[in-house]
Amino acid sequence: MALHVHSHLQGISAFVHSVEGGSFTAAAARMGVSKSATAKSVARLEDRLGVRLLARTTRQLSLTTEGETYYRSCLKVLDELNGAEALLAARQRSISGLLRVNLPVSFGRLCIMPVLQEVAAANPDLELDVSFTDRLVDLVEEGVDLAIRLGHPGHHASVIGRRIGTQRSLICASPAYLDEHGRPQSALDLAGHACLAFGKDGRPLPWRICDSDRDMQEILIKPSYTISHGEALRDATVAGLGLAYLSTWLAEADLRSHRLEVVPIATPAEDGPISAIWPRSRDLAPKVRIMVDTLVGRFMPTAPWDHGLS
């Protein structure tokens, strides 16, 4: 069926170009085919319709009465096709449709959702379906268009990504806790303090600190509490339960309001990248591109939560 329709369109195209060009030679030049191929396409069209569309002389082509009627019908059909193609192209360029986004629980709620909402408000034809989880989802299998990842996203043949920011972490505690228990100056001092750890996959994550030569090392603390929710970990730190290794995006407001204080143990300037990833495809959908570009513009080169923090 597809080949049948294709051959019909070839004949119609050859016919219309022949009328508009005034000859098979002119039509062939427009279509990028030979003069004989153009003439044969028109002849097959006439045979299929059972009427003569063009009167041929050695000097020119002219429409028959039937040909004139058919020509007007063909123009309407081609206008419809051109309009459909233009509409499809416009939709491909527009910011519209359903965008399925997967976000880390705390970072997604605090930092990404405000940006998504802002972009959606400016593009009323865009719909959002946002899920929150700290596990690594399979974008292709779970039908996710865009995901945000904290830390190195890894390398997967089925996805592609772009860095949208940098994560930085500090060792923090409440001023009341530090006033009572003292302010540790080095990693060795941590053994005498209550430490709160972020838990992932059933185990506490290590803390990254810098030695006297500014070389980074990971240390495994013995936590008094292990908490697998970022905001709950921050809240426990504000409440004075101990020291915690907190990302600046999570601790920023409490640091600025002095509900938290930075412990003078050096940590790396970068704790890992923040990345946007999406399924690998030949063309990046406009709805994904605008989100990624907006996030890069908002968080690079320095994220707003890092401005002014020591």
Helix (H, G, I), strand (E, B) or coil at 92: helix
| CATH of the structural domain 105-166+276-301, one choice from 3.30.365.10, 3.40.190.10, 3.90.1150.220, 3.30.70.250 | 3.40.190.10
Q: Is cis: bond before 301, omega within 30 of 0?
A: yes
Q: Do residues 131 and 101 lie in contact, with contact meaning Cβ atoms separated by under 8 Å?
A: yes
Euclidean distance between CA atoms 288 and 292, whole angstroms? 6
101 φ, ψ (degrees, to nearest 5): -120, 135
pLDDT at 10: 83
Q: Do residues 119 and 290 lie in contact, with contact meaning Cβ atoms separated by under 8 Å?
A: yes
CATH topology of domain 2-93: Arc Repressor Mutant, subunit A (1.10.10)
Residue 7 token pair: 């051959």
pLDDT at 6: 61
Is the pLDDT at 32 greater than 50? The verdict is yes
What percentage of the chain has pLDDT greater than the value 70? 93
Top-level CATH class of 169-262? alpha beta
Euclidean distance between CA atoms 45 and 224, whole angstroms? 84
Q: Do residues 143 and 100 lie in contact, with contact meaning Cβ atoms separated by under 8 Å?
A: yes
Q: For residue range 187-231, list pLDDT tens digits in order.
A: 999 999 999 999 988 899 999 999 877 788 999 999 999 999 999
Mean pLDDT, to the nearest integer, of 37-58? 89
Domain definitions of the chain by residue range: 2-93, 105-166+276-301, 169-262
Name residue 244's amino acid.
A
pLDDT at 196: 97
For 197-204, the CB contacts below 8 A with 24+ separation are 197/221, 197/223, 197/225, 197/226, 197/227, 197/244, 197/245, 198/226, 198/227, 198/228, 198/230, 198/233, 198/244, 198/245, 199/226, 199/227, 199/228, 200/134, 200/228
Task: Please give the C-alpha separations between residue 252 and each of 105, 118, 257, 258, 305, in angstroms, as whole numbers.
Answer: 17, 22, 9, 10, 6
Per-residue confidence at 1, pLDDT binned at 50, 70, 90?
very low
Among the residue ranges 26-35, 46-55, 82-91, 231-240, the one predicted with the least confidence is: 82-91
Euclidean distance between CA atoms 239 and 250, whole angstroms? 15
Give the helix ranges, DSSP H, for the chain: 2-21, 24-31, 35-49, 65-93, 105-107, 113-122, 139-142, 175-181, 230-238, 248-256, 286-299
Residue 181 token pair: 């228990």
Mean pLDDT, to the nearest integer, of 73-77? 85
Tell me, rounded to whole angstroms, the distance of Cα 73 from its chain centroid: 44
Confirm whether 105-166+276-301 and 169-262 share one CATH topology. yes
How many C-beta neighbours within 10 Å does residue 40 have? 16
Q: For residue range 106-138, list pLDDT tens digits in order.
A: 999 999 999 999 999 999 999 999 999 988 888
Among the residue ranges 17-31, 75-89, 175-189, 282-296, the one predicted with the least confidence is: 75-89
Mean pLDDT, to the nearest integer, of 245-266? 96
pLDDT at 169: 96
- What is the residue-wise DSSP string for 238-277? HTTS-EEEEEHHHHHHHHHTTSSEE-SS---S-SEEEEEE
Is the pLDDT at 15 greater than 80? The verdict is yes
pLDDT at 291: 95
More confident residue, 284 or 88: 284
> Residues 122, 126, 131, CA angle at the centre, nearest 5°?
110
Residue keyed to tokens 């069209």: 45
Residue 101 token pair: 């986004």
